[in-house]
Amino acid sequence: MTEMVYGAVPVQSGDPVIPRWWRTIDKWTLSCILVLFGIGLLLGLASSPPLAAKNGLDPFHYVTRQAIFGGAAMVVMFTVSMMSPKMVRRLAVIGFLFSFAALAMLPVENSTYGRVADIHFLLPESGLSIVAEHFMRITHCLMALGKGPFEAAYSHPQALGQSHKFLSDRGIVGLSHADTAGAAAFVAESGKTNVAAIAPSLAADLYGLEIVEREVEDAPDNTTRFVVLAKDSLDPANLAGAQAMTTFIFEVKNIPAALYKALGCFATNGVNMTKLESYQKGASFAATQFFADIEGAPGEARVDAALEELAFQTNGVRLLGSYAQVRKRG
């Protein structure tokens, strides 16, 4: 690994992966890692039985877990060591940016293409609370190895939906990929000049693609709303003096006019609902849940009254968080 990075041994790109890896790997470092891993397993084998017996577990419970997770770590280490330094740097940058964004914010909806898929499942199941919202102008670029014409363009379904008219007008077929950066990498690795990717401009720099056209999204004000998540929810009292938003889910009863009664709780108390989306719970097609945003927060008399009435009219209400409103609704 060390020699591959510093170039002590010439690397020929045409060589098979395994021989090139073996020729360039730092064998002393690799030997030390394997020896330390073996010693750790022996120590675990010696200490696991008494500790497991004390906790009422299988005698080799702990050493088995050590072997499984240690083995997985070894696989990752060997896989990364076979990559080129350039690829490692690319994956590190993309992984850092993606992990930071995924941990800090979650996209909820887009002004052009609507709700982000599965968000109504991810938010309630995350165990986290919404503490803020953020609006971001989203721009996409068409990038490829050549100037075209193109038969297909790869990207995330959201990006394809936001650029549907652009692609349709040019006769380009949109093909789904796991993410926009991954689509750019796929096009670069394919070596084909008749396929393109829709991704941020940074992806073109990372993967050596040429930007054929910028701002290919259909709407000039294409914007995605994100919510910021945290383990602990905000105290609504801290939002006093600021326009607040509250996000929650509720499940209506399977009776006539169930939704009408639920929405009446907010109408009669003067609470503005800015978002309402429905989705099915389970396979019964009888228990309908709704994902909603309202202006205001618990602690305000009108909001408290509306939520109390809603709890009576529905099978259940679950608050996902209250936070300061960033953009005025309406």
pLDDT at 98: 67
Can you tell me the distance from the alpha carbon of 112 to that of 223, in angstroms, rounded to the nearest whole number?
7
Q: Which amino acid, 182? A: G
* Neighbouring C-beta atoms of residue 136, cutoff 10 Å: 13
Write out pLDDT tens, residues 93-139: 777 766 655 456 788 999 999 888 777 777 787 788 899 999 999 99
Same structural domain, 217 and 240: no
The pLDDT confidence band at residue 54, using thresholds 50, 70 and 90, is confident
To the query of whether residue 166 is one of the catalytic residues in this protein, the response is no
Final residue in a domain of this structure, among 159, 188, 221: 221
Tell me if 47 is assigned to some domain: yes
The secondary structure element, H or E, covering residue 203 is: helix 201-207
* DSSP characters over 127-190: --EEEEEEEEE---EEEESSS---SEEEE-HHHHHHTHHHHHHTTPEEEE-S-HHHHHHHHHHH
Same structural domain, 277 and 216: no
Report yes or no: 81 and 11 within 8 Å, Cβ to Cβ.
no
Final residue in a domain of this structure, among 221, 252, 271: 221
CATH code of the domain covering residue 169 = 3.40.190.10
The two beta strands, 195-199 and 152-155, are: parallel
Tell me if 303 is assigned to some domain: yes
pLDDT at 133: 93
User: Interhelix angle for 258-267 vs 301-313, to 10°?
Assistant: 170
Tell me if 274 is assigned to some domain: yes
Tell me if 120 is assigned to some domain: no
**Which residues are CB-neighbours of 232 under 8 A, at least 6 positions away?**
129
pLDDT at 8: 45
| Side-chain half-sphere exposure of 140, counting CA atoms within 13 A | 33
To the query of whether residue 224 is one of the catalytic residues in this protein, the response is yes
Catalytic residue among 150, 226, 250, 266: 226
Tell me if 171 is assigned to some domain: yes
**Which residues are CB-neighbours of 53 under 8 A, at least 6 positions away?**
59
| Side-chain half-sphere exposure of 145, counting CA atoms within 13 A | 13
- What token pair was written down for 5? 């990075």
Can you tell me the distance from the alpha carbon of 49 to that of 47, in angstroms, rounded to the nearest whole number?
6
The pLDDT confidence band at residue 52, using thresholds 50, 70 and 90, is confident
Q: Look up the domain containing 43 and give its range.
A: 2-83
The pLDDT confidence band at residue 64, using thresholds 50, 70 and 90, is confident
Same structural domain, 157 and 216: yes
Final residue in a domain of this structure, among 51, 83, 115: 83
Is the bond preceding 59 in cis, omega lying within 30 degrees of 0?
Answer: no
Tell me if 103 is assigned to some domain: no
Tell me if 273 is assigned to some domain: yes
Catalytic residue among 224, 246, 247, 314: 224
pTM of model > 0.85:
no
pLDDT at 15: 64
Mean pLDDT to the nearest integer, 233-247: 89
CATH code of the domain covering residue 319 = 3.30.70.260
Please tell me the total count of domains within the chain.
Answer: 3
Same structural domain, 199 and 241: no
